[in-house]
Amino acid sequence: MARPKPKVLLDELEPSGMMFEVCEADAVYSVYYQGRPIKIRRRNLAQKYPNSKYNKVSFPEPGHAFNLAERLNQRFNTTEFTVIRLSGGRTIEEITPDY
């Protein structure tokens, strides 16, 4: 079965010939641990100055979130990682400091 075409909200053709499209999503699906939002940080401690890399935990499609939750549950031998569907909500504004 083919995936349905998303509704394109905005698009722009870049000079390189690449099309940039903003598409509508039903919701955002996020992985939570014990009912709380998480972020995943990976660090290479074998390096002299280890850098951190943060992996995605929120996705516009539920399949990716369920796959991540399953992998995390297997890795940590738990069932505490779940997927939460986020839709709607309130808009917030970034607070910029006055210098």
Tens of pLDDT, residue by residue over 6-29, are 899 999 999 999 999 999 998 999
Residue 23 token pair = 């598409």
Cβ 72 vs Cβ 30: under 8 Å = no
First-residue to last-residue Cα distance in the chain:
55
Of 68, 59, 63, 67, nearest in space to 86 by CA: 59
What are residue 84's DSSP bridge partners?
Answer: 30
Confidence of residue 57 (pLDDT cuts 50, 70, 90): very high
Under DSSP, is residue 70 helix (H, G, I), strand (E, B) or coil? helix
